[in-house]
């Protein structure tokens, strides 16, 4: 219960805080873009079983690999895609916290 609260708290709470603090004038748009980072979980559909509560996503699923994470970090540099990069990095932070709490 605590693990999932932390996991989903990071997934949905951290983007909200970032949006309100750093993108105040268009926080809702910023929040929505960052929340779209959840779409990288579609790579879970490639796994068998699709959901395993004892599996760490980091470096297991293709969009959670270290190579993908490096790309997400690079996305933080150009201003035009920074919110996408932030959403993806926040997603990775949430999944990393999940792995640590296992």
Give me the average pLDDT of each 10-residue run along the chain (102 residues): 86 97 98 97 93 92 98 98 98 95 84
pTM of the model: 0.94
pLDDT attached to residue 66: 98
Write b or e for each residue in 5-44: b if 16 or more Cβ atoms lie within 10 A of its Cβ, otherwise e. ebeeebbeebbeebbeeebeeebeebbebbbebbebeebb
């Amino acid at each position: 219960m605590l693990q999932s609260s932390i996991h989903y708290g990071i997934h949905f709470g951290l983007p909200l805080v970032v949006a309100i603090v750093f993108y105040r004038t268009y926080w809702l748009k910023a929040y929505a873009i960052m929340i779209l980072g959840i779409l990288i979980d579609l790579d879970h559909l490639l796994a068998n079983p699709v959901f395993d509560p004892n599996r760490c996503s980091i470096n297991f699923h293709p969009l959670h690999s270290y190579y993908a994470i490096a790309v997400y970090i690079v996305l933080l540099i150009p201003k035009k895609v920074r919110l996408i990069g932030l959403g993806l990095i926040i997603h990775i932070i949430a999944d990393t916290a999940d792995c640590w709490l296992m």
